[in-house]
Every structure is written in C-alpha cells, then in structure tokens.
Structure 1
Amino acid sequence: MTARLIVMDIDSTLINQEVIDLLGEEAGVGEQVAKITERAMRGELDFKQALEERVGLLAGLDESVFERTFERVTFTPGALELVRSAHSKGWKVGVVSGGFHEVADKIVAAAGIDFCLANRLEVVDGKLTGKLAADIVTKESKLIRLLDWAVECGVDMAHTVAIGDGANDIPMIQTAGTGIAFCAKPKTREAAPFAIDERNLMLAMDIILRD
C-alpha cells in the first residue's frame, strides 16, 4: 500500500463551522466577525490583517469560552470516516488552520488526527487579551507544514493530498499531489485541480484512489 499524507483545513472543511465566528458570537460581535471572515476567505482582505482585527474583538472573553466553543463544533459529514479510512490504510492525517490551538487541539483529539498547525490566542489571568500569542498561520505556513510533514512521514509529494475551502488553502492545494477544493470559495475552486461541491468528505477518497 502506497504511503500517503492527507492535510486538511479545519474551519468549514473538517468541521462545519468557523471557530473564530463562534468565538465572536460568545463575545457578542458574531455578525461583525463573520463578515470579516467571509471577505478574508474570498481573498478580498489581507488574511493577517483580517485575523488580527477579529481577534481584537475577542478581548476580555474568559478562557472557559474554548470548551463552550468546542461543544458547538460539528464534524463535516464523512470527516471522521475519511480519517478512519486513511488510518486503516496506514496513511497519516494532518490539519492546518487559521483557527486556534485552544479549540483545534480538542477537535484533533476527538478525530484522532496525527498533526496540527494552528494559531494561539494570548490569555492573561484567564482572559483573552485580543492578541495572538505566536506567529500567524498563513497560506505560506500551511504549505510549508505540508512539505515538512511529507518529509517527516517519508511520503513522496506525488502522494500527498491537500483539502481546503479558502483562499489561504490555494498554495497547498496546488502543490500537493492531489489538491481538492471542498465546498470552496470561487477563487479556491478555480485554482484547484479537483473540487467537491457536496458536504461529504468521504468523496475525497474516490479522488485520492483514482490512480
């Protein structure tokens, strides 16, 4: 069996929600945050600037918000099946996200995923400061992590798979051996070699196994 690596975006791909939007709702600025998210995902705004603006709106939230937010997350149909199927073949699965480790780590544990790259939120005295605690995950860092994990797993790039929906997923989708736009924004769908327009991640397996 050929060794493979599947790398997915989290928000609106592995899960049905955008975690930053859920956090925005908890802060009472849900609509404002969601509008910025939508524009950033379409590639209309600089991702770094848009993320910093949204995170700033979360200042003052109690860190207990992470558990409440995770409880509202639902996996995309076929997501857990895709991970299980990949593992049954001896493949590795990673996620790269412009979301946050504080929620992403819970998602990864629940799904049994092998690798995770996400942002971190700064918390002081149990409250969110409205700032990020580390370098921002960008389209470039998503691509770099795909390349790094492929080397770590001993997987040839021709046997890597990248799945995502937003503009910041385009570089990894175009670089992977199999790049899939999943229920994606127009710009991402146009850039991807393959596209899935139905919210069922198991459909990716048909594309991956086509050769």
Structure 2
Amino acid sequence: MKDIFTIEIKNDDIHLASYLANIVSSEHNTKAYSHTLTVIGQAITPYLLKGVLDKLINVFSPVSAAFHHLHQQMGDDAIEIRGQVINAKPEQIKSLLGDVSDAYNLDVGLQTSRPSLSEPGLLVMDMDSTVIAIECIDEIAKLAGVGEQVAEVTARAMRGEIAFNDSLTHRVACLEGVPIDHLNQIRDSIPIMPGIQTLLKHLKANNWKLAIASGGFTFFADHLKARLGLDYAISNTLSVKDGHLTGKVEGEIINADVKARTVKALSEKWQIPSRQTVAMGDGANDLVMMAESALGVACHGKPLVNEKADVAVRVGSLHSLLYFLDK
C-alpha cells in the first residue's frame, strides 16, 4: 500500500501530498492511532479531502494516511486516514459523518477495528432494498391492486415505527388470493443492486461465507441464493393453496431477533470468530443483527439505520463495503 505522501496528485486548489504532509507531522508514531477514517468516492480531489477533514477537525486528529489496498481496483478512490478521536461522543460523530457525506457526495466511515478481508469471515445480508432494489411484498401488492396500502405499512416498519411481526402479518393478509404466477413475474425481473457481484466475488475469493437473512419470502430468497451462489438463506414462507396465496405466513416469522440469531448460529456453525462477522441492511429490522456482528453496515439505509450502524454506504454501490475491511 503506497504512502499517500509520495504520490503526486494535483488540482487547481492544493497538492494532496503537500496538504497531508502539512497536517500530519512526520514526528508522529504512525502506529499510535485509535480510529481509521475511510473516505470513498469518485475522483476524490485534495479540495474534497480537505473539506472532509475540516468538517471533522474538532473530533478527529489525523496521524497518517494511505490509499486503501483495494484503491481503484473497482473504479473508486478509497483513502484511509488513521488518527485519534478527540472529545467527541459517538452520536456526535455519526451526525458529522452524515453531514460530510451529504456535503461532498462521498461515503465516509470511522472505525475502531475492522474485520480482515484476507481471513475467513461471514457476511449476512438483508434482501429487500439491500441485495435487490425492490421490496418484494410491495411489488406483489401492486399486482394485487393494494400497492399503496401495503407500501405505507412497509415504510413504517422499515423506519421502526411499528413492530415488524404485526406489520408483516397485516401486509401478507392483504395478499390473500394472489396467484403464484404474479410471484414468478416479479422473480424473473428482479433488479439486483449494483456492486453485489463484485462484493461477493472478492469475499468468496477470500473464503468468506455468504448468507441472506430476510424478512421477505423464500420464493425470492431461495432464488437469489442459487443465482448468486450464496451459502445460506433464511426468510418467511408464504402459505399457498391451489396456486394462490392464502394471506398467511407459515412457521416462525423472520424478524430482527431471528436475523441476529442467524448471525450467531452461522458463525458458530462455520467456526468464524465474532470479530470476522459483518451484517448489512437498510431497515430498522436489521439493527439487531448489526449489533450482533463485529461490523454493521447500512446500505442506502433509512436515517435511523445510518445513525445506528457502524458505517453507512450512502453514495456508492454495495461493493463499497469492502473498503471498510482491513487487509
């Protein structure tokens, strides 16, 4: 990994190497840091990086800086800045990071420790609006003519305003009588999120286990497990009779607690240390499994999830998760 001080990068505002050399004293012990600030984006300039650090100047003191080891391999710029957090509470920092992301259209994350890409690990992913770009239940509801009614309940559940079990039971009841052919139509045209294939490819190459834990439905989760080559998938089973949905869910509802149990159970099954576990999602229903994991990643998440997750991908594709991993 090249030292960023030795790389000549210029623009009309400031020379990046000179700027960093000015703010990072050569007398510092580069190993004396408590946090790693990761900055990810397209064509990051010295001006943008200076803006990031200026916004964080009261809470973060840089010690050293370098390009992430995957820098530009996937078409992004990714910079790691190591340093110390000064006189700041976690909630204050999370708010500042959100402001930085909005101001410069970059992804930024501040971590005390990071799972290692080169060691076997476990990634457990939400499905709807995370691995795929839709909420399947909302799409079924549209075809059934109750789209607006169901979508509103979905949105409230993802924001954490109503209990997930209650919201799921209510929404599925609205689907009574929907023919299975409707589900086939949605499954065949399902939009997979940009960056997921790159993310999974790199993790598989480093012997990571990959799983979906979803409050959605087996009809779609099992399809994605096979299509993406995942190791495991758990989701809700829709009751079917005579080729039509009955409006009920069979068995235990896969809620936030079940998702968290899944992370723990799979890590034990595959003998993966807890420090090598990652959970990724977008809704309030994913926060418990994020808390169970060493690294919780919000992906284009609801405001509450961005605030509570360890790091948030607000701008980039799903492969941006890789930049929050160590070597």
Counterpart-to-counterpart distance in 2, 1:74 and 1:107: 11
1:179 and 2:296 correspond: yes
1:5 and 2:122 correspond: yes
Counterpart-to-counterpart distance in 2, 1:175 and 1:135: 20
- SS of the counterpart of 2:258? helix
Provide the identity percentage: 36
Show structure 2 runs of 5+ residues with no match. 1-117
With normalisation by structure 1, the TM-score equals: 0.96
- SS of the counterpart of 2:128? helix
- SS of the counterpart of 2:152? helix
1:51 and 2:191 correspond: no
Aligned to 1:121: 238
| Structure 1 segments (4+ residues) deviating >2 Å | none
Aligned to 2:153: 36
Aligned to 2:188: 71
What amino acid does structure 1 have at the position aligned with 2:307? E
Counterpart-to-counterpart distance in 1, 2:215 and 2:188: 19
- SS of the counterpart of 2:130? helix
Counterpart-to-counterpart distance in 1, 2:230 and 2:199: 11
Larger radius of gyration: 2
Task: Quote the RMSD (CA, aligned, Å).
Answer: 1.1
Tell me the CA shift for residue 65 of structure 1. 2.0
The equivalences for 1:112-151 within 5 A come to 112-151=229-268
1:27 and 2:139 correspond: no
* Cα deviation code 1:31-76 (max 9, x no counterpart): 1111110010000111111111110111001112221111231111
With normalisation by structure 2, the TM-score equals: 0.63
* Cα deviation code 1:54-105 (max 9, x no counterpart): 1011100111222111123111110121112111111110011010001211
2:318 pairs, out of 201, 205, 208, with 201
Counterpart-to-counterpart distance in 1, 2:311 and 2:319: 14
Counterpart-to-counterpart distance in 1, 2:147 and 2:221: 19
* Cα deviation code 1:4-27 (max 9, x no counterpart): 001110000111111111111111
Counterpart-to-counterpart distance in 2, 1:199 and 1:165: 14
Question: Could you tell me whether the CA contact under 8 Å between 1:161 and 1:208 is conserved in 2?
Answer: no
- SS of the counterpart of 2:185? helix
Aligned to 1:14: 131
Show structure 1 runs of 5+ residues with no match. none
Aligned to 1:161: 278
What amino acid does structure 1 have at the position aligned with 2:283? G
1:190 and 2:312 correspond: no
- What is the number of equivalent residue pairs in this alignment? 210
1:89 and 2:206 correspond: yes
Aligned to 1:61: 178
Aligned to 2:99: none
Tell me the CA shift for residue 199 of structure 1. 4.6
Question: Could you tell me whether the CA contact under 8 Å between 1:9 and 1:163 is conserved in 2?
Answer: yes
Counterpart-to-counterpart distance in 2, 1:126 and 1:187: 39
